[in-house]
Amino acid sequence: MIPQLKNNEVKFISPEKLKRLIPMSLALLSPYLLAGEHESKINSICRLIASSKSPTVFLIDKSKNISTGPINLGKYGYINNDEDYNVILTDYKVIITPARLKVIPCAGSCLSVKKAKSLCPGTATYDLAYTRINKRRDINDLSWLPFKVDTYATFPDVEDPASPYPVGVTYHFEQRIVGEMYDASKKH
């Protein structure tokens, strides 16, 4: 029996009641425990990034770990449309240090970014996507699908508004895309 204080009286919790309380307590505490684990992981990443002495781009995966690539798109549906390009969203983020650096949008098949909430002080964080130029195909011919993707994908240029000179950036990841396109009109 476990003692319990109630109205200045000591009462005991029975083992049966304790067996029911422990799982409920863990269920209530688990979001806080996971948040603490997430914060700890981000803090260690931020310390590593803060030690970078030159302009650097880091790739962060959906588990909030630093990744060296390649960027895995997984399976994604291809839709033959009249657009010149399509944007394939990823679960990755990039962290750029220092924060004053600006990403110049690119044209063509390349990695594209969208500003996100900063994960580390003194840095800029972006959601990462892959912009792909569409090849004009016969709308009825999707016989080439499924198609394994394994290609180099350039990161957009980065500029420093405080400097008239080009920025030399270190990329801590392989700028390569892997995945598989499938016919989005078919069920998978």
pLDDT tens digits, one per residue of 143-164 = 777 788 898 988 999 999 989 9
Euclidean distance between CA atoms 181 and 35, whole angstroms: 34
Of residues 49 and 24, more confidence is placed in: 49
Q: What is the pTM of this model?
A: 0.73
103 Cβ contact list (under 8 Å, min separation 6): 96, 113, 126, 156, 157, 158
Question: What is the average pLDDT across 32-54?
Answer: 72
More confident residue, 20 or 69: 69
What local confidence, expressed as pLDDT, does residue 158 receive? 93
Residue 169: pLDDT band (50, 70, 90) is very high
Mean pLDDT of 118-126: 94
Cα–Cα nearest to 116, from 53, 177, 64:
64
Long-range contacts of 36-43 (CB under 8 A, 24+ apart): 38/64, 41/65, 42/119, 42/120
The token duo for 56 is: 């650097």
Where is mean pLDDT largest: 17-21, 39-43, 73-77, 135-139? 73-77
Tokens standing for residue 99: 């924060």
User: What mean pLDDT comes out for the span 172-186?
Assistant: 87
